[in-house]
Chains A and B, each alone.
Chain A
């Protein structure tokens, strides 16, 4: 189950289209007004405190514009994206393997559900980070390792839930249709797991962005977190704000253009009844 998406999904429109359209207009107007008000408050408040504590919106936007035209930001963002993608991929593969293991070998159920998953789930991400620094030094391996270890329990838990919620009747039906285990797995189990696999990726993506900057700041030699560290040491608050805003935009955009439409397509495909 993905706790990151539950609240953001639009409730299925039951009302006629016109009511839905009106609601959407209200939402847009309220959102725009909210942001305008937030910017106004930010601007006024920033006049009363020193710039190193809270730079005004104009200064931050100017810095963002500087960044957008420089190649460096794109490069660092690319490095961070690479870290996130690698960690998500490894965590997904490891998590799937561990989640499927008890189904394939029932004797390992207690090991996976009762020992490994709780242990990995309770292990501090900051702890993995410092262990990784000791083991691998300051480089991308450290960053990817630390993020992977944080994501793995999320992947195991999501996919285990998926496996245990599989529709028993359908599986039984499958058994009466073909003897081939592989065929049943490919044709039945995999498609039924798709929503959980998707929820895994969506949760992982959100968590990965939250922690990758920490990992890069302490254990990385490149990426947005590294950039943030330099800015922090120079008390360059404008850059810190600019970087955070870029991350917010990037993650919100990914959610909007990639995850939410995909979720809607999945919901339609898997809607029951």
Chain B
């Protein structure tokens, strides 16, 4: 099936916004006849979202979740680049990292990290960041390794003839070359952190959006559950659209094949 000829933009826009409006209307009509703890109406949810943005207590939960996610993505980035650089240093390190460590990290259940993190480090911000880091690490690592692999060996050789300092070669030559892969890794990890790694806050914290979701669910406060979910969608979309995607475009090596 070929990509059919492009429809007129106006029609596309009408269908897109029309369908969203229809869904909202359908939601409103369905919610009218259902009790609030099953399906709250759009207005209740909007009110709950407003509370999350305004009420300092609730906004605090949003802020702390956001900071933890940032911390975890940054930590995972540093560890992944270090491990990926190690892969290049020789076949022994490559085997250990790629064939063993990555396989383990990749198949480790996320809830396993959550439970173990709490057992090992008890409940704290550091624990949550540890758990989230371990969950997003494999995604970051795969991208970092792939990035290093794409470096043209001849360029590397040229670098060696220009400077002896390993650090300089890394900062001036390799880092710019792997940036597109790293930013792709950051985008994926940032998404995974909000979508899956939030589980850390169900075990390892008594604050944050994950904790708030769980509390709201036990109180059967569906409006807050909805609102927390939508706040996550908004935060994700804002950072991805305003920061990560422009960065990815800017650093792409014109082909920009990585999503």
Contacts and interface: CB of A to CB of B under 8 A. Distances in A.
Interface string A170-186: 01100000000100110
Contacts of A6: 142, 146
Nearest to B222: A134
Contacts of B194: 122, 124
Contact of B142 (A4, A114, A128, A228): A4
Contact-size category for A: 35 or more
B72 to A, nearest CB: 15
B95 A30 contact: yes
Interface in B200-259: 202, 210, 213-214, 216-217, 220, 222, 225-226, 228-229, 232-233, 236-237, 240, 258-259
A63 B243 CA distance: 48
B113 to A, nearest CB: 9
B98 interface: yes
A30 B39 CA distance: 56
Given A108-B15, A121-B191, A7 B100 contact: no
Residue of A127, A171, A189, A248 contacting most chain B CB atoms (<10 Å): A127
A248 B106 CA distance: 9
Interface stretch (A64-72, A86-94, A208-216): A208-216
Interface string A204-244: 00110111011001100000010010001001010010011
B142 A34 contact: no
A123 B19 contact: no
Given A110-B16, A166-B2, A4 B106 contact: yes
B1 A130 contact: no
A75 interface: no
B232 A123 contact: yes
Contacts of A247: 107-109, 112
Nearest to A135: B38
Interface stretch (B25-33, B55-63, B114-122, B156-164): B114-122
Contacts of A235: 119
Interface in B52-102: 91-92, 95-96, 98-100, 102
A43 interface: no
Given A119-B233, A124-B195, A168-B2, A206 B19 contact: no
B182 interface: no
B237 A7 contact: no
Contacts of A209: 107, 109
B196 A131 contact: no
B233 A123 contact: yes
A237 B198 contact: no
A53 B228 contact: no
B188 to A, nearest CB: 6
Contacts of B232: 122-124, 127
A26 B107 contact: no
A127 B19 contact: no
Given A118-B237, A171-B2, A228 B111 contact: yes
A131 B2 CA distance: 38
A157 B109 contact: no
Contact of A126 (B102, B109, B202, B258): B202
Interface string A106-122: 11111100110011011
B16 A211 contact: no
Contacts of A214: 109-111, 114, 196, 199
B213 A130 contact: yes
A100 B1 CA distance: 9
Interface string A70-110: 00000000000000000000000000000010011011111
A8 interface: yes
A48 interface: no
B3 interface: yes
B107 A248 contact: yes
A252 interface: yes
A210 B110 contact: yes
A109 to B, nearest CB: 6
Contact of A240 (B6, B115, B188): B115
Nearest to A244: B112
B155 interface: no
A244 B141 contact: no
Nearest to A27: B95
A6 B95 CA distance: 15
20 contacts: A3-B143, A34-B96, A106-B5, A106-B6, A107-B14, A108-B19, A109-B12, A110-B16, A111-B16, A118-B237, A119-B233, A122-B191, A124-B229, A124-B233, A126-B213, A189-B1, A218-B202, A228-B112, A237-B119, A252-B107
Q: Which 4 A-B pairs have the closest CB atoms?
A: A127-B229, A251-B107, A106-B7, A110-B12
Given A27-B91, A27-B99, 15 more contacts: A7-B141, A31-B99, A103-B3, A107-B12, A122-B194, A123-B229, A125-B195, A134-B220, A135-B39, A164-B3, A168-B2, A213-B110, A214-B111, A228-B111, A252-B103
